Structure 1
């Protein structure tokens, strides 16, 4: 991995740490907020996490679904999100209009 990737990963992790409990963000949304990276890169960053302070479980795909293919990882991510108050419908989809995070600007605007 090149140094630029490491710097981008740090930015991705910083952004993901901002997602509040009970909310989710998409890979593409994080990529857009960080800039100069792709949704795929965010996915790679989430897959490589070993730091427990990064709430990886709060990052999902643009269809409102968990992208982990491993059944154990899928079950773990879903269980953590449900404990945080995120609800899934009968097709295991999260309603992004209800549980989607609007980004750091929206969070800081609430302080007004």
Structure 2
């Protein structure tokens, strides 16, 4: 694992403002990787609560099924609602 790449990915997530979301693909691209799956893996290894992992969703605006309840609650607390189990990326995606 490229530790510098992983740290860049975490920095991308840390830079995502409250009230916004990004996709795993966004995280990868902004960190200089072609792999959204690697971004997901890096986030899955987190033990650091300073990284707002809940602001990262799939390309279709959905969270991973096992994160749905907690992620939707955290996003709702930041003013990002889910409708039909997904975030409206056109409205809430951080560009």
* TM-score calculated relative to the size of structure 1: 0.80
Deviations along 1:30-63, whole A, 9 cap, x unmatched? Answer: 1111113410000001111111110000000000
Quote the residue 2:87 is aligned against.
94
Q: Is 1:29 aligned to residue 29 of structure 2?
A: no
Measured on the aligned residues, the alpha-carbon RMSD in Å equals: 1.1
Aligned residue pairs total: 95
Do structure 1's residue 82 and structure 2's residue 76 form an aligned pair? yes
Report runs of 4+ in structure 1 exceeding 3 Å deviation. Answer: none
CA–CA distance in structure 1, aligned partners of residues 33 and 79 of structure 2: 32
Partner Cα separation in structure 2 for residue 37 and residue 13 of structure 1: 15
Contact 2:9–2:28 under 8 Å retained in 1: yes
Task: Say yes or no: does 1:56 pair with 2:50.
Answer: no
**Where does structure 1 lack aligned partners over 5 or more consecutive residues?**
103-112
Unpaired segments ≥5 residues, structure 2 = none
Structure whose alpha-carbon radius of gyration is higher:
1
Secondary structure in structure 1 of the residue aligned to 2:63: coil
Task: Give me the TM-score of the superposition, normalised by structure 2.
Answer: 0.93
